[in-house]
Amino acid sequence: MTVTAVPAVAEAIETVASHLHPRPSYDLADHPVPNGREEVWRFTPLRRLRGLLDGTPSAARLSWEVSLPAEVTMTDISSGAVRALGVPAPVDRISALAASLSAGAVKVEVPSGLALSEPIVVNLSGESVNDLVYGQVVFVVGANSAATIVVHHTGSARYASSVSVLVGDGATVNFVSLQDWADDAVHAGHVGLRIGRDARVRTVSASLGGDLVRLVETAEYDGPGGELEQFGLYFVDAGQHVEHRLFVDHNAPHTRSRVDYRGALQGKGAHSVWVGDVLIRKIAENINTYESNKNLVLTDGCRADSVPNLEIETGEIEGAGHSSTTGRFDDEQLFYLRSRGISEEEARRLVVHGFFADIIRRIGVPDIERGLLTTIEHELEATIGAPTPGAAGERRGVALVRACGVADVPVGGTLAVDLGGDADIAVVNTAEGFFAIRDECSHGAVPLSEGEVEGCTLECYLHGSRFDLRTGQPLELPALVPVPVFAVRIDGDDVLIDPDQPIAIQES
């Protein structure tokens, strides 16, 4: 682990700070209670933070359900130990309160030199919006390791969070944060990334639920050569406030950052805020950065604030840019799709799916990708209308039927089920979760359920064709044609499948 305990190394060299971001600090005196006119608070309806700024102590906790690969450790550490790790300091009052009132943190650590084949999944859920919760989580990924980390928020709470991700030199990290809260939840906080030398970090932040979600997502580099990609998506419904404030601090040379956040808004009072700020310090020569935010406004009565900023202190850069677009559906796209017979509703649905699919496919955890696509389908039903059930020619909504029980298929096992389609469906349980694939090899009429499961693939026993269970794509000859795969949802003890709707193959 090469993370040093000295924050903001570059500040020792120069004193220029961001004009748009307060100095990070653990001291609450540096983060007075805002009045709402401050640059960083002006978009936020403070009253709807429902006491997250007050500093009332609380011992309430979110419930934790964690899936950890064997080599990964999880320990409780003290606040002092958190600071000693050199995590990015709190950037606002709420994250400072989370750091000081959470009574320590949970540290999840991946040792050095280890490539995890399974994701770390942390499910955090709240019971009630009456609970005021301060939480602090630190992820440490050792040098030259590779890890996918998923933090999934559900249920309800008033939650002040401080999350840090310390990425060691040469490590590769995929960090996914899902704000999938119930309608009344309030969540505000800070996600701070520190990126080691030559490390590669991708983040995906998806905010779908909650009454108010406000996340400050910061990134800084711990040496040259770091690469950062940040993707985000949000779907904001009537009355919802979703705010993402990004700050990439290019404090080391030869670093790269790319930000792509996309949101859709629908319903009266839906409000999204995206503020992207990139600071390129004097020391940060030959860096490259680009930020983009796109908002798709689906109905009247929504508001999308989108503010990209660049603060450039050196002329010696490779590239720096940003873009922001907010608009309705593109008439030309709809015309093109409709000119092929696709109804207006279906065309709109396709365009929104496409808009988000580009982000979702970066997650790399098939279960989560499918879950998000399903959630977006549900969201769209509010505006575009539910897909006409059973209507000939129309694509139907997700009509899930029970295929079998979770316990019916052991990991590494398969089960053929007849759901009334023109072929059986093979339910496959793997270390990465459940999959469903048409139970017939595309090379010959051979049931795939008789074959071998290996990782995320299924091999046909007769001729050895191997298929990717996520996409249905053939990976080994003799098969050349993909086999249809189906979305799977686990509901309690049941495995649910929509047998009439194979997943469209987005990416080979």
Partner 1 sequence: MSTLTITDLHVEVETENGPKEILKGVNLTVRSGEVHAIMGPNGSGKSTLAYSIAGHPKYRITSGSVDLDGVELSELSVDARAKAGLFLAMQYPIEVPGVSVANFLRTAKTALSGEAPKVRTWVKEVNAAMDRLGLDHSFAARSLNEGFSGGEKKRNEIVQLELLNPKFAVLDETDSGLDIDALRIVSEGVNRYMAAGDHGLLLITHYTRILNYITPTFVHVFVDGHIVAEGGPELADRLEVDGYDRFVKAAKVDA
Quote the least distance from Cβ 344 to partner 1, whole Å.
7
Name which of 390 and 410 has its Cβ closer to partner 1: 390
Quote the least distance from Cβ 473 to partner 1, whole Å.
8
> How many angstroms separate the Cα of 390 from the Cα of each of 138, 232, 353, 375, 398?
48, 34, 21, 20, 11
Name which of 49 and 342 has its Cβ closer to partner 1: 342
| Encoded tokens for 451 | 């074959």
Name which of 210 and 232 has its Cβ closer to partner 1: 232
Helices (H) then strands (E): counts for the chain:
6, 26
> What contacts 44, CB < 8 A, 6 or more positions away?
36, 212, 214, 241, 243, 273
Quote the least distance from Cβ 17 to partner 1, whole Å.
37
Helix (H, G, I), strand (E, B) or coil at 410: coil
Quote the least distance from Cβ 355 to partner 1, whole Å.
6
Name which of 190 and 262 has its Cβ closer to partner 1: 262
> What contacts 418, CB < 8 A, 6 or more positions away?
424, 425
Residue (of 187, 215, 183) closest to 50 by Cα position: 187
Name which of 315 and 393 has its Cβ closer to partner 1: 393
Quote the least distance from Cβ 340 to partner 1, whole Å.
4
Name which of 33 and 386 has its Cβ closer to partner 1: 386
Binding site for partner 1 (CB under 8 A): 330-333, 335-344, 346-347, 350-351, 353-358, 392-395, 422, 438, 442, 481-482, 484, 500, 502, 504-508
Quote the least distance from Cβ 474 to partner 1, whole Å.
11
Q: Are 266 and 234 in contact (CB under 8 A)?
A: no
Quote the least distance from Cβ 333 to partner 1, whole Å.
5
Residue (of 412, 394, 415, 413) closest to 346 by Cα position: 394
Quote the least distance from Cβ 506 to partner 1, whole Å.
5
| Encoded tokens for 41 | 């608070």
Cα 331 to Cα 340: distance, rounded to the nearest angstrom: 15
Q: Are 4 and 86 in contact (CB under 8 A)?
A: yes
How, if at all, do strands 212-221 and 172-179 pair? Answer: unpaired
Backbone angles phi, psi at 439, to 5 degrees: -85, 55
| Encoded tokens for 409 | 């298929």
Quote the least distance from Cβ 346 to partner 1, whole Å.
7
Q: SS3 for 182-222, per residue?
A: CCCCEEEEEEEEEECCCCEEEEEEEECCCCEEEEEEEEEEC
A 10 A CB-CB count for 328 gives 10
A 10 A CB-CB count for 189 gives 27
| Encoded tokens for 194 | 């520190």
Cα 74 to Cα 108: distance, rounded to the nearest angstrom: 4
Name which of 39 and 330 has its Cβ closer to partner 1: 330
Name which of 147 and 441 has its Cβ closer to partner 1: 441
Name which of 159 and 356 has its Cβ closer to partner 1: 356
Amino acid at 355: F
**Cross-strand partners of 204:** 176, 231
Quote the least distance from Cβ 449 to partner 1, whole Å.
17
Quote the least distance from Cβ 197 to partner 1, whole Å.
33
Quote the least distance from Cβ 361 to partner 1, whole Å.
9
Name which of 300 and 332 has its Cβ closer to partner 1: 332
> What contacts 378, CB < 8 A, 6 or more positions away?
398
Name which of 68 and 505 has its Cβ closer to partner 1: 505
Residue (of 306, 242, 247) closest to 280 by Cα position: 247
Name which of 147 and 376 has its Cβ closer to partner 1: 376
